[in-house]
Structure 1
Amino acid sequence: MSGVFEGYEREFKDLSSAVQRKTQALEGMGGEARKAKLAELDGDLAEAESLIRRMDLEARTQPPEAKGRLLARLRDYKADLNGLKKDAKRLAMPRAGDASRAELLGDSASAADQRNRLLTTTDRLQRSSDRIEEGKRTILETEELGVSILQDLHQQRQTITHARDTLHSTDDNLSRGRRLISSMARRMVQNKIIMYAIILLLIAAIIFIAYKKLGGHK
């Protein structure tokens, strides 16, 4: 089991719990506090989505027997994240009560000041959203680079494994060659000994025959 995946998994669970608490808190909020909480919620959801991508990347680099289990768990987390996004989208929609209060404020003497504050808040939210989007793009680029590096490392590992297998095969061939040469050398020595023995026997036989012939003439 991947320790990195489990670390991302714990972070995702903690973040999901925090998003659920903020979602429940938003039910009774209004005005500036509600907008600020919605901005926090958007940031948490972006971080949760990033964790999902990291878990997916980590799961796909695992051996086949672990990869299937991790991807199955990841599908459940993706479903949980989609549910959290739906809740956040529902809460982000303008409420009728908020519209009524806005109309009342428009009729009051402080309507202009209220609009200015709303515009300022909107600008801050837009900047926060832009930073989040930029962060998402950076994370995606980093993850793509990580995938490319992992693929290169996998190819290099296969090359090293192939070279190691070739080296082992070469060592085996050399060992067999040495054994064959040693066997041939032993046979050559044996053949030489046999040949010398035959020569000695022939010489002895010739001497014996010559001796007999010379002895017979006498």
Structure 2
Amino acid sequence: MATLIQSYEQQYSIITADITAKIGRLRTANEDERDSLHKEIQGNFEEANDLLEQLELEYRGSGAGSRVSAYRAELQRVKDEYRKVGTNPALYNIDNEEYDDWSTGNEQRQKLLDNTERLERTGKSLTEGYRVVLETEQIGAAVLQDLNSQRETIQRSRGRLRETDEQLNRSTRLLKTMMMRALQERFVLGIVFLVLVALIGLAVYLSVT
């Protein structure tokens, strides 16, 4: 970027120096030479304006301090000098309305540059907004994925709780069954014990009698 700016500045310096030299030659040139010099100078002015436009865009893109205003002031000074040399249309065959056209053209170019800058800012704002939307979408997708993972975890936990509850129910039923069997066995043992006691008592009674 800096190398391109330096290149534009060098080209601009060469063009303005060439225009100044040609303006000096106008003072002593004959009619044919003046016509040729006028065309060359006007072409040089257009080229210089184009260079300044490119230079201003490069400065804006780089964010560095711009010297375009100083260059435009210098170019306007050269144009004024050219106007003074061409103030006698009969002598130099110059249409002074062209200078007003240049001034109007510069204003139009400045407006175009300002509009371009606004469009660039709008484009950057839209790009930034689109980036924010994409980031928000990504965050939302990540949150949804996390919620889905948590839901699956909760569902698995509920499944394990149901399995644990079923196992507890089976264990409770098993314990109840074991307790009933233990009570039944105790009842049977009690009856057997009573029968044995009765038989022993009967045997003792019979042995005594």
Q: TM-score, normalised by structure 2?
A: 0.64
Deviation of the 1:112 alpha carbon: 6.1
Distance 1:178 1:22, change over 3 A: farther
- In the alignment, is the contact (CA less than 8 A) between 1:16 and 1:48 conserved in 2? yes
Q: How big is the alpha-carbon RMSD for the aligned residues of Structure 1 and Structure 2?
A: 3.2
**Structure 2, unaligned runs of 5 or more:** 20-40, 200-209
- Residues 139 and 168 of structure 1: is their aligned pair in 2 closer, same or farther, counting only changes over 3 Å? same
TM-aligned CA deviation for residue 154 of structure 1: 3.1
Alignment length, in residue pairs?
Answer: 177
Which residue in 2 is equivalent to 1:23?
12
Residue of structure 1 equivalent to 2:32:
none
Higher-RCO chain (CA-CA 8 Å, sequence separation at least 6): 1
2:63 matched residue in structure 1: 78
Identity of aligned residues (%): 7
Pairing partner for 1:169 from 139, 143, 150: 150
- Alignment deviations for residues 55-94 of structure 1 (CA, whole Å, 9 cap, x no partner): xxxxxxxxxxxxxxxxxxxxxx423xx1xx21x3222224
Q: Which amino acid aligns with 1:141?
A: T
Distance in 2 separating the partners of 1:158 and 1:49? 37
- Structure 1: which 5+ runs fail to align? 1-11, 53-76
Write out per-residue CA displacement over residues 94-132 of structure 1, whole angstroms, 9 at most, x where no aligned residue.
476654443232135255634133344444444433333
Query: Matched residues in 1 for 2:50 and 2:180: separation?
Result: 105
Aligned residue number for residue 174 of structure 2: 193
Q: Which residue of 2 aligns with 1:211?
A: 192
Structure 1 residues 1-218: aligned runs within 5 Å? 12=1, 15-30=4-19, 31-48=41-58, 52=61, 77-79=62-64, 82=65, 85-86=66-67, 88-94=68-74, 99-107=80-88, 109-110=90-91, 113-214=94-195, 216-217=197-198
The answer as to whether partners of 2:5 and 2:59 remain within 8 angstroms in 1 is no
| Bigger Rg, which one | 2
Aligned residues of 1:39 and 1:128 also touching (Cα < 8 A): no
Deviation at 1:36, TM superposition (A): 1.6
